[in-house]
A and B are shown apart, each in its own frame.
Chain A
Amino acid sequence: MTEPLVINREGVDALISTLIDRGYEVVGPTVRSQTILYDTITSTADLPVGIRDRQEAGTYRLENRGDDALFGYVVGPQSWKKFLAPPGTVFWRGLRTEDGFETVEAEEPPSYAFFGARPCEVAAMKIQDDVYLPVGDGIYTERRKKSFTVAVNCTQPAATCFCKSVGTGPDVSEGYDIALTEVLGGDQHYFLAEAGTDSGVEVLSGLMARDARDEEVVTARRLVVHAADYMGRTLETGGLKELLYANLSNPYWREVGDRCLSCTNCTMVCPTCFCSTVEDRQALDGSSAERARTWDSCFTLDFSYIHGGPVRSSSSSRYRQWLTHKLASWQDQFDSIGCVGCGRCIAWCPVGIDITKEAAVIRERDIRKVAIETPAVKEAVE
């Protein structure tokens, strides 16, 4: 794309205002209930200025950084799917007529500007595109088409982050309109601003931005490289699909199942999870009906219900479904791994189940390995 520009905090404010002027509803990180949540913002004052997050398995805390960083944290429990596939969206309305019924289109969705989308989230949106766009899903497609993305490259990963392992960060390479990298240190506080699309170029050109100096670019890039080296966790992805497919009957699933509460937190916070259900409602007098789509989770007991009972009745079978879908079957379905390494599921699991650890244990206790290592089989093989 174009050469990197530099703006300061005022420039960021101007960016937000420009987007609002262009008719976008600008949504970005805010602090509420001691959590970073995505909501409407009108200026940088709405952002979690000087806030850092401390995340670990089953743990999420915010604390003061003691500085003025606008983006000194990573991700909270929400992701942009909150806006692209909002729970409870009515996507179909019907009116009873003399002949039967007729359908009516649902309302026009707003145009969103996603402000402060992390590289893992940008990757998650691309992954969800592969789920919703080929099917022509109205709800998602409309909102996605109209959206504008201002990404923020990460310079300080959380302990739960592992975007490096799955190749989704800590910086964006595609799928954004504008990417910002915040540099704060000593007496400098600037933002490297790079356009990723023509819209991005156009928006940036309206701001008071100057060309970045070489050392400014180097400093910004170095922060990102440093972040890559400082990842809290890793996920070993080599042969992951074959590993998980081969271990569907591994007894280890029962161990995880015993810990898992099937609370569905992980699926709610996961930026790529897309399972949904429909609610058909009728007016009391039967004159009209509507269908709404709402989020669902493969962890619920009746998710797989057929003929009097669920197919996956044990919590271990449901955990296995989620993990193998996310890391293995997703690859056959959508040609990519379903996980972006954001670490939300680890932080927001009340019992601290860690997807990177579980995958590692399965790898260690791979039943294919064990089969070869028992003495009788070893002898036969030799």
Chain B
Amino acid sequence: MHPVPCRVRSVVRELKDTFTLDVEPPHNGWEFAPGQFTMLYAFGVGEIPISISGDPNDPSRLVQTIRAVGPVTDALTAVSPGDTVGVRGPYGSAWPTEFAEGGDLLIITGGIGLAPLRPALLEVLENRDRYDNVTLLYGARSPGELLFADELQEWRGRFDLDVLITVDHADRTWRGPVGVVTSLINRASFDPESAVAFVCGPEIMMRFTIQDLERKGITDHRLHVSMERNMKCGIGLCGHCQFGQHFVCKDGPILSCAEITDTFWIREV
């Protein structure tokens, strides 16, 4: 239960207040599943759950993307290579990449939601022949706020991956789509009878996305989301992350819509 001191290898600024940390994993043989998170600790300041955004095929690196929104994340993103942060984990459930094999896969995300989905996409691409059509739909606020822009460009160039990107607003230099990410669903190619969808982003965006996907015929046991709730312990003890009967830290964060359908649509649960 104690944070393990881990050395910071590098800090990359992705966007104005979003940084990616590359940290030495807590021990040899450390590994994680896509979708999991760690509790990252800044000495004396505090601890916060952070999604792992790295490549699950390369567990020798612990890569996490953090948005600085408060004192703990400010401290975590102000580190330099050689500094030490505390790591507990990995915790939580994973994106069911195996369940999605044999059919189409839709990955729909917005904003920093791309971070916890990146490991899933990398795992899928590593086993590309097990899937039919794989599509990434990504929405961001504006062109300057696209996360992992270089990698998105790379992914767009692949023939075995459909990447559609939209922004909420843009100036004239942006020649791509402008509008909500749900508007991209109609342009994605998938068989609604069998496709699996992974959705991650602000809860409102997930709500509308799920409604649109269900309207298209994707049933709720094939729809998976990453829930987010306040977490203090990451191990199902402090009670903060409860969402209905689920502890988001251990039953989630990845949950299928079938599991949460009774509570997802009720306010303030």
Do A and B touch each other in the complex, judged by CB within 8 A?
yes
CA–CA, A142 to B233, complex, Å? 19
Q: Is the CB of B240 within 8 A of A296?
A: yes
Contact of B244 among A100, A281, A329 (CB under 8 A): A329
Known: A103-B2, A280-B44, A317-B267. A332 touches B239 (CB 8 A): no
Q: Is the CB of A277 within 8 A of B47?
A: no
Q: Is the CB of A280 within 8 A of B46?
A: yes
Interface segment among B170-178, B215-223, B224-232: the answer is B224-232
The total of interchain contacts (Cβ-Cβ below 8 angstroms) comes to: 110
Query: CB-CB contacts of A64-98 with B at 8 A, as 1s and 0s?
Result: 00000000000000000000000000011010100
Q: Is the CB of B86 within 8 A of A101?
A: yes
CA–CA, A313 to B43, complex, Å? 31
Query: CB-CB contacts of B230-246 with A at 8 A, as 1s and 0s?
Result: 10110111111010110
Q: Is the CB of A289 within 8 A of B1?
A: no
Q: Is the CB of A298 within 8 A of B239?
A: yes
Q: Is the CB of A248 within 8 A of B237?
A: no
Q: Is the CB of B238 within 8 A of A325?
A: no
Query: CB-CB contacts of A125-142 with B at 8 A, as 1s and 0s?
Result: 000000110011110000
Name the distance in Å between A237's Cβ and chain B's nearest Cβ. Answer: 17
- Chain A neighbourhood of B1, CB < 8 A: 91-92, 136-138
Q: Does A199 contact B (CB under 8 A)?
A: no
Q: Is the CB of A100 within 8 A of B5?
A: yes
Q: Is the CB of B43 within 8 A of A101?
A: yes
Q: Does B168 contact A (CB under 8 A)?
A: no
**A residues 283-298 touching B (CB-CB < 8 Å):** 283, 286, 289, 291, 296, 298
Q: Is the CB of A281 within 8 A of B267?
A: no
Contact of A132 among B7, B237, B240 (CB under 8 A): B237
- Chain B neighbourhood of A102, CB < 8 A: 5
Q: Does B268 contact A (CB under 8 A)?
A: yes
Q: Does A314 contact B (CB under 8 A)?
A: yes
Known: A100-B84, A311-B268, A333-B247. A303 touches B44 (CB 8 A): no
Q: Is the CB of B263 within 8 A of A248?
A: yes
Q: Is the CB of B2 within 8 A of A92?
A: yes
Contact of A280 among B47, B83, B230, B245 (CB under 8 A): B47
- Chain A neighbourhood of B3, CB < 8 A: 92, 94, 103
- Pick 17 A–B contacts, CB within 8 A, sort by A: A96-B43, A99-B7, A100-B7, A101-B86, A248-B266, A248-B269, A276-B232, A278-B233, A280-B45, A280-B47, A281-B44, A282-B45, A286-B43, A286-B44, A328-B245, A329-B242, A333-B247
If A289-B43, A317-B268 are given as contacts, then 5 extra A-B residue pairs at C-beta distance below 8 Å, sorted by A number, are A94-B3, A137-B1, A245-B262, A311-B269, A333-B247
Chain A residues within CB distance 8 Å of chain B: 91-92, 94, 96, 99-103, 131-132, 135-138, 245, 248-249, 274-278, 280-283, 286, 289, 291, 296, 298, 303-307, 311-314, 317, 321, 325, 328-329, 332-333
